[in-house]
Amino acid sequence: MTINLELPRKFNPTIEQAHQAAAEIFRPVSRKYDLAEHEYPVELDTLASLYDGLADAGQAGAGADGGRKQRKPEVAEGVIVNGGNMQSVVNTLEASWGDVGLLLSIPYQGLGNAAIAAVATDEQLAQFGKVWAAMAITEPGFGSDSAAVTATARRDGDEYVINGEKIFVTAGSRASHIVVWASVDRSLGRAAIKSFVVPREHPGVTIVRLEEKLGIKASDTAVIRFEDVRIPAANLLGSPEVDTKKGFGGVMQTFDNTRPLVAAMAVGVARAALEDLRGILSDAGVEIDYDKPANCQSAAAAEFIRMEADWEEAYLLSMRAAWMADNKLPNSKEASMSKAKAGRTATDITLKAVELAGTLGFSERLLLEKWARDSKILDIFEGTQQIQNLIIARRVLGKSSAELK
């Protein structure tokens, strides 16, 4: 498989817009909303209008449908496509260079939107493509083991009745809709887990509380209770059929779309930290020479070169996972590889940047300490480091989840 990861020129306009938004909208208010947790960033409404306009204009990578626009035209076998998934990744990277918490707060760009893009039918995409959707998976009784969902969705005529509680729902109190994972028949195991689009302001939906967090404070993180919530049967994303042989690959396909995006968030935060650290080291007289072996340079320079190499690996893995999605290649392993590498790399780089920057890194004069706090969630949500390594091992060894736990 040959991959050319040189970015197509057609991406340049939206990449530049994303970078400008990060530099001129996100960075100036980054500390403000870090100190004012749960306060809605009104500055993002303008940005939401920009994304909406790009989506209406048919620009790939903008809007809830992600790369869907790129799938419709038939292309000849062997033709390489660089489409919406790759562009979404590079746009996410640029925006996260500004502030990942604010990125997660942009209206109509929630993780639930990526879930809709992954499994919705064309009819459902037409219905839900313009909503702002959060994604509700985690419950009080489990974290990364998505198969342990206990929330239920009971069929009652032309409706489903949803009951359960979800925690750590990003944008849960702000989004207009919530993509909820629930089981239609718990006796059938993970194969019966489906995703449902539920309006947030709906009878039986209660925002129990908002979490106070280590990082990404600009983003609201909610606990939501669903009590006898009735929604139309058509709000079940994808096929309602339960195939016990196939498992719950339909809803898990969501992660093949969202994990490269979370990897891109980590890559963006790590790049921001590397850039600031390089300036600090340069001002301190530390020379970084790429023509000399690391052991012939100062400890700080050697560490910086190591971190840059790790960053490059994370970036390339993220791009590969997105490229495979655009070209309709199974990318579950690669999506997990990108998420695992990028999440680990971001925490390593941001914490090391705080250390090497000394008192500047530990103070609030710069954003380095904030990026160190923000980066930790990127190694946790959408599947922890440990669960990603487990998925990768299963794919490499050809083992099922029952065979390798």
In the chain, the N- to C-terminal Cα span, in Å, equals: 30
Q: Which residue stretches of the chain have pLDDT < 50?
A: 57, 60-64, 67, 69-73
The number of distinct structural domains making up the chain is: 1
**Which domain does 63 fall in, by range?**
9-128
Give the pLDDT of residue 213.
97
> Is 162 part of a structural domain of the chain?
no
What is the structure's pLDDT at 239?
Answer: 87
* Residue 38, domain member (yes or no): yes
Q: How many CB atoms lie within 10 A of CB 77?
A: 4
Question: 127-170: per-residue pLDDT in tens?
Answer: 998 899 999 999 999 877 777 899 999 999 999 999 999 999 99
Q: How far is CA 19 from CA 59, 97, 404, in A?
A: 17, 8, 42
pLDDT at 63: 43
In the chain, the amino acid numbered 132 is W
DSSP character string of 123-190: HHHHHHTTS-EEEE--BTTBSS-GGG---EEEEETTEEEEEEEEEEEETTTT-SEEEEEEES-GGGGG
Q: Which helix (H) or strand (E) holds 73?
A: none
Note whether residue 269 is domain-resident: no
What pLDDT score was predicted for residue 76?
62
pLDDT of the residue at 249: 56
- Indicate which residues carry an active-site annotation: 382
How confident is the model over 357-392, as pLDDT tens digits? 999 999 999 999 999 999 999 999 988 999 999 999
- What pLDDT is attached to residue 69? 45
| Degrees to nearest 5, angle at CA 220 with 314 and 55 | 65
Compute the distance between CA of residue 165 and CA of residue 190 in angstroms, rounded to an integer: 18
CATH no. for residue 105? 1.10.540.10
Does residue 44 lie within any of the structural domains? yes
Distance from C-alpha of 388 to C-alpha of 383, rounded to nearest angstrom: 6
Residue 14 domain-assigned (yes or no): yes
In a domain? residue 46: yes
Strands 152-156 and 133-136 come out as unpaired
Domain assignment of residue 197, yes or no: no
Is the residue at 393 inside a domain?
A: no
